[in-house]
């Protein structure tokens, strides 16, 4: 079998397995698997791998690094209904390209960046879907707004005209115990619940949480977008 075919087979098997896992966990949780979107995290993977996943029906892809993403988007311009999510750290000097080239941003954690993204979102396309990244374990060196500062940030971001605030995202501290993993995700779900008490935030509908190693805990606690990289594409070839 040519190398490309083998890679394609792996991605097909992996995608099937992840879809099956999502279905099984959702069944156990009494949730509708249709409300859980699989975001294929393609950082460190070549454009050819994204194209293969696309041909297998995958439409949502997540990237962490702007330059790397732009190169792949260029190579994949013919895939007109592909949906690009930016999930990496945001630098304010890169907001123009990000606002132009992505459909979703999961990593907004300060007002200044949100404001710039809104100002730079072209009028010709729909408002940019945004999740606020929350530093859910309160780790000093980690990105994300603190739980304490979250309500104020949400109240500010919801007013920005070219952003569509959708919900919350987190990257918890790495844990292997399911109960420990669930605790962090439950904490994020609680934060979304309390924001939704306010009338202007009642329509927030997204919990972006869960990666290859904590998918189960995330779905059990209400994830609506799971961000899966290695379980779909295998080890990353570069993290430029």
Ligand X SMILES: *Cc1c(COP(=O)(O)O)cnc(C)c1O
* Contacts with ligand X, residue ranges (CB under 6 A): 41, 43, 64, 87, 171, 211-213, 227-231
CB-nearest residue to ligand X: 229
Q: Using an 8 Å Cβ cutoff, are 133 and 145 in contact?
A: yes
State which residue, 43 or 72, has the beta carbon closest to ligand X. 43
Instruction: List the end-to-end C-alpha distance of the chain, in Å, as a whole number.
Output: 30
Least spacing, CB of residue 64 vs ligand X, in Å: 5
Longest dimension (CA), the chain: 57
State which residue, 121 or 233, has the beta carbon closest to ligand X. 233
Distance (Å, whole) CA 208 – CA 226: 6
Least spacing, CB of residue 62 vs ligand X, in Å: 7
State which residue, 2 or 235, has the beta carbon closest to ligand X. 235
Distance (Å, whole) CA 197 – CA 167: 13
State which residue, 37 or 212, has the beta carbon closest to ligand X. 212
Residue 86, judged by CB atoms within 10 A of its CB (0-12, 13-18, 19+), counts as buried
Residue 29, judged by CB atoms within 10 A of its CB (0-12, 13-18, 19+), counts as middle
Least spacing, CB of residue 45 vs ligand X, in Å: 10
Least spacing, CB of residue 32 vs ligand X, in Å: 23
The angle subtended at Cα 172 by Cα 168 and Cα 175, nearest 5°, is 150
State which residue, 69 or 201, has the beta carbon closest to ligand X. 69
Least spacing, CB of residue 61 vs ligand X, in Å: 11
């Amino acid at each position: 079998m040519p190398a490309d075919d083998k890679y394609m087979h792996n991605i097909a098997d992996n995608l099937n397995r992840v879809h099956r896992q999502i279905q099984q966990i959702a069944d156990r949780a009494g949730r509708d698997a249709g409300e859980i979107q699989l975001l294929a995290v393609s950082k460190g993977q070549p454009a050819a791998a994204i194209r293969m996943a696309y041909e297998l029906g995958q439409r949502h892809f997540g990237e962490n690094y702007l330059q790397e993403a732009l190169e792949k988007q260029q190579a994949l311009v013919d895939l007109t209904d592909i949906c690009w999510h930016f999930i990496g750290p945001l630098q304010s000097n890169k907001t123009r390209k990000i606002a132009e080239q992505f459909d979703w941003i999961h990593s907004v954690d300060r007002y200044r960046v949100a404001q710039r993204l809104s100002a730079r979102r072209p009028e010709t396309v729909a408002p940019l879907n945004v999740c606020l990244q929350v530093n859910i374990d309160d780790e000093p060196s980690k990105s994300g707004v603190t739980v304490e500062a979250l309500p104020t940030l949400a109240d500010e971001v919801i007013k920005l005209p070219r952003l569509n605030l959708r919900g919350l995202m987190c990257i918890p501290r790495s844990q292997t115990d399911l109960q420990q993993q669930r605790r962090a995700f439950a904490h994020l779900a609680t934060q979304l619940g309390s924001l939704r008490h306010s009338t202007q935030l009642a329509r927030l509908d997204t919990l972006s949480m869960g990666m290859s190693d904590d998918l189960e805990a995330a779905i059990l606690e209400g994830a609506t977008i799971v961000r899966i990289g290695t379980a779909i594409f295998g080890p990353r070839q570069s993290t430029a």
